[in-house]
Amino acid sequence: MIHCPVLVRESLEKLAPVSGGWWADLTVGAGGHTEAILKATEPAGRVLGMDRDGEILVLARKRLEVYGDRLVLVQGNFQDLATVMQAQKIKALSGVLMDLGVSSFQIDDPARGFSFLKPGPLDMRMDRRQSLTAAEFINHISEKEMADVFYQWGGERHSRRLAKIIARNRPLTDTASLVRLICRVLRFHGRLHPATRVFQALRIAVNDELASLERGLNAVAEALADHGRIVVLSFHSLEDRIVKHQLRDKTRWENLTKHVVRPDRDEIHANPRARSARLRAAVRRRSN
């Protein structure tokens, strides 16, 4: 599937990039937003690009090699931004973009295990250097812990029934086996696949996404220059709640989005995966 970055025009409007300084895309993916920032900061702006997924950085590096040393790509979690900046001798950032969505390349590759529509290993690791996979997670937690994860991070109302049938049929090693068990308990609700919420919850758990997001937003607040800007794209309510709460801290931020920004009908038609995107942005207040 062709990579389609979400809300590019709206992101640049809020980020307000100019030539010069250091800018950052902390979730490079295939490089769509990164390229937009590089173009908008010509000729003298430099961009730090980070992503947890080393495999997708290979693709991004090839796509963006024309920008030469204006772009620095680093594999890592955005919660470790301070360490990366120190290693790159970057003192402060003028603006930061974070797109929290799962990459199309990750979803569409059955070997990554993110999709309930394609058979593959129960993996779901954003960073394949880490040892914990979805199979390791689901096969070793207690039935009660599993139910709690499905409910809290997936919003799954039938979490206890699902946890019970999964616990009785462990170990599981592949997505197809997990989907079959889920479909023995649940049926389609409108267009929503019965496995949607469980797969979301597992992905969040395996990658420690919510805690990483909180730490990442704190790291960005420390990394931005006075009046530097942050733009965050989230894709479900748990992420958006964290972003909204953090950016309401008036000791740190001046909010740029009174109301969340969403894709218009044309963008959703062109890229259905953009449907759930929510953009929030803020300016870093002057340090005392």
Q: What is the pLDDT of residues 149-158, one digit of tens each?
A: 999 999 999 9
Which of 197, 198, 267, 191 is closest to 233 using CA atoms? 267
Residue 143: per-residue pLDDT: 98
User: Tens of pLDDT along 185-244?
Assistant: 998 877 889 999 999 999 999 999 999 999 999 999 999 999 999 999 999 999 999 999
Q: Annotate 35-62 with three-state secondary structure.
A: HHHHHHCCCCCEEEEEECCHHHHHHHHH
Residue 79: per-residue pLDDT: 97
Residue 187: per-residue pLDDT: 87
Q: Enter the tokens of residue 174.
A: 């592949």
Residue 3: per-residue pLDDT: 63
The answer, yes or no, to whether residue 38 has pLDDT greater than 60, is: yes
Same domain, 121 and 179: yes
The answer, yes or no, to whether residue 107 has pLDDT greater than 50, is: yes
Q: Name the domain count of the chain.
A: 2
**Contact criterion met (CB below 8 Å) for 229 and 283:** yes
Last residue of a domain, one of 207, 233, 252: 207
Give the CATH number of the domain where residue 193 resides. 1.10.150.170
Segments forming the whole domain that contains residue 164:
109-207
How many Å apart are CA 29 and CA 104, to the nearest integer? 9
Mean pLDDT in residue range 134-162: 98
53 lies in some domain: yes
Same domain, 96 and 231: yes
Same domain, 56 and 173: no
Same domain, 200 and 245: no
Same domain, 50 and 16: yes
Given the structure tokens 């490089």, which residue do they identify?
Answer: 31
Same domain, 231 and 162: no
Last residue of a domain, one of 207, 237, 257: 207
Residue 176 or residue 187, greater confidence: 176
82 lies in some domain: yes
The answer, yes or no, to whether residue 1 has pLDDT greater than 50, is: no
Same domain, 97 and 218: yes
Same domain, 194 and 216: no
The answer, yes or no, to whether residue 78 has pLDDT greater than 50, is: yes
Last residue of a domain, one of 170, 190, 207: 207
Written as one string, the DSSP assignment of 142-189 is -HHHHHHHHHHHH--TTHHHHHHHHHHT----BHHHHHHHHHHH---B
Mean pLDDT in residue range 37-41: 98
Give the CATH number of the domain where residue 65 resides. 3.40.50.150
Same domain, 20 and 135: no
84 lies in some domain: yes
The answer, yes or no, to whether residue 2 has pLDDT greater than 60, is: no
Residue 4: per-residue pLDDT: 80
The answer, yes or no, to whether residue 45 has pLDDT greater than 50, is: yes
